[in-house]
Structure 1
């Protein structure tokens, strides 16, 4: 299967338009049509209906495979380029907003760094495709337990630190005077849904073992300060690592049950070299939790 044809198919299916896919990919509309026809001939089945442009049943199944296949190809290209010395000498670090703890920030070298703040779900892909040399991901976990990372590609993960978590409340909230809060008592509260900036609500549901945690407002940015300002304005509660849970007009109450922590992990593809290895050494990942583990993808 030609990956160029597959990329064209994914673009057409995502945009539901041959002309829009042509503009995005820099092809003519005729070339896009030829790509789709060639892929359908190769697979021996129609992949798209034309009016409207939607995937067939076979096309939907192909889409499920296409993302991981193309990502693995990009990851292979990036890793080979790095081994061949094609990578630059600087350090590009992709990080989820709340993974940028004081400890990780202090470990950054003084020069030659590009820091890319991304939604946490996008960090492993940035590392796998070579868009970043290293990634910092985070989430809720039992103390000293590893995070459950999506197997997007062969990546190695190291524990890079953990800290307590706190519930951020408006200063006038009825629970603001508590010395500790149980997650089960907050399942029916109004929450901020901020998957890019805070700890995702699905992780709260997983930690609690049930449903609940309904979002009152969804914030799709990556700015933690905006998220804490929304909490201060009474738009919902938010769970944050202790180092990020401080903002005017709010109170940060420790989460006492279940016993979970905010865990940060360093992820990379291939062997650590140059500035990436120096950063990992400053972060001292070998003393920050579990032994490095490999995600097979």
Structure 2
């Protein structure tokens, strides 16, 4: 299966239009039509309906595979480039919001001291975007976070030859508005909060899917979704009574109307891990050492 044809197919499916896909890809509409016809001929089945332009059943199945296939191709290219090239003179670090904690600034200062001339750029983005960005070579390193059992690593996407280095872990807390009936407690368990209102903020708090898995319950439901990456906005939503959130214990206390209560059960921790292409990449090793210290 030609990856160029696959890329064209995905773009047409996303755009819902041959002409829009041609514009995005820089092809003629005729070339796009030829790509789709060639892919359909290769697989022996129609993949797209033409009016409207939507995937057929087999096309939907192909779309499920296309994203991971294209990402693995990008990851392979990035891994080869890392293998043949010298460490870059500039470092682009992708970081999820909670992984880009207060001590990251000091860690990067130390890294620049030990690697004179290193130019550093930090991009704060979602957890999935961090992992995919490292795999595709857009980020030299990634700093991501999540919750896990104390002895377990984070569960990450299948992204090929990425190495991970654990750099920190800490207890979890539940963020509640000060007027919440449980705000005065010293400790809470998730079982006590199964029926509470929750904020679904998958890039700035513990993902609700992970909390459901930890409690083996589907009772943890979202009352509002937050798709951003700003912790202050998330805490403001908590303060306004829109729902609760599970966060690392070190989260800055920047909203007076929010209190945090230690989460005692189940036994989970907030983990931060460094993602990189090779375990011996000097900048990755140096940054991991500073972060752990």
Give the conservation status (yes or no) of the 8 Å contact 2:172–2:246.
yes
In the alignment, what sits opposite 1:221? 228
Aligned runs of 1:191-202 on 2, under 5 Å? 191-202=198-209
Secondary structure at the counterpart of residue 130 of structure 1: coil
Matches of 1:160 and 1:103, distance apart in 2: 12
Secondary structure at the counterpart of residue 97 of structure 1: coil
Note if 1:66 corresponds to 2:54: no
Give the conservation status (yes or no) of the 8 Å contact 2:165–2:288.
no
Offset from partner CA, 1:239-281 (integer Å, 9 cap, x none): 1111115222110111111111111111111343243332123
Give the conservation status (yes or no) of the 8 Å contact 2:141–2:284.
yes
**Residues 25, 7 of structure 1: CA spacing in aligned structure 2 closer, same or farther, 3 A cutoff?**
same
Give the conservation status (yes or no) of the 8 Å contact 2:171–2:248.
yes
Matches of 2:105 and 2:145, distance apart in 1: 14
Superposed displacement of residue 87, structure 1: 6.6
Note if 1:117 corresponds to 2:119: no
Secondary structure at the counterpart of residue 123 of structure 2: strand
TM-score (norm 2): 0.91
Q: Which runs of 4+ in 1 moved over 4 A?
A: none
Aligned runs of 1:109-188 on 2, under 5 Å? 109-110=111-112, 112-188=119-195
Aligned residues: 285
In the alignment, what sits opposite 1:22? 22
Moved more, 243-252 or 65-74: 243-252
Secondary structure at the counterpart of residue 153 of structure 1: coil
Offset from partner CA, 1:149-202 (integer Å, 9 cap, x none): 121322111211101111111111111111111111111111111112211111
**Residues 266, 95 of structure 1: CA spacing in aligned structure 2 closer, same or farther, 3 A cutoff?**
same
In the alignment, what sits opposite 2:285? 277
Matches of 2:79 and 2:177, distance apart in 1: 46
Superposed displacement of residue 61, structure 1: 2.0
Superposed displacement of residue 57, structure 1: 2.1
Moved more, 149-158 or 249-258: 149-158
Superposed displacement of residue 26, structure 1: 1.8
Matches of 2:140 and 2:281, distance apart in 1: 10
